[in-house]
Amino acid sequence: MAGFLGEKEVLTRARVKEIVLNKEYSFLEQNVSLLGIEGDNLILKISFLLEYRKKMISIEEKDRIVLPFAEFRIEDWGDGVRKIADIE
């Protein structure tokens, strides 16, 4: 029989995936950190922080992510709000 407050939920990877997919969290912070540039690649790390039933859950990339710089669109926005041109 469960206690007065109900059964305590044990989080697993599969359950955390369901929480994210079903948007069952009350807070979500997304963070991409640029660790550096090596040759023509950007080195990134991605992490998420979410609140679920008054618990904070951290999801963080185990290994660094290497992405070719050529995969990114770069725009020159000048000193104003509107985009001036793409940078080749």
Q: How confident is the model over 25-63, as pLDDT tens digits?
A: 999 999 999 999 999 999 999 999 999 999 999 999 999
- CA distances to 19, 39, 51, 64 from 46, rounded to whole Å, are 18, 20, 17, 8
Query: Which pLDDT band, with edges at 50, 70 and 90, does 8 fall under?
Result: confident
- Please tell me the least confidently modeled range out of 1-10, 47-56, 69-78: 1-10
Instruction: Look at 5 and 1; give whichever has higher pLDDT.
Output: 5
The answer to whether the CB of 60 falls within 8 A of the CB of 47 is yes
Query: Which pLDDT band, with edges at 50, 70 and 90, does 3 fall under?
Result: low
- CA distances to 25, 76, 80, 87 from 84, rounded to whole Å, are 38, 6, 9, 10
What rounded mean pLDDT belongs to the chain? 89
pTM above 0.85, yes or no: no
Domain boundaries, the chain: 13-86
Rounded to the nearest 5 percent, the helix, strand and coil shares of the chain are: 15, 45, 45
Joined tokens for residue 27? 């807070």
Instruction: Look at 81 and 62; give whichever has higher pLDDT.
Output: 62
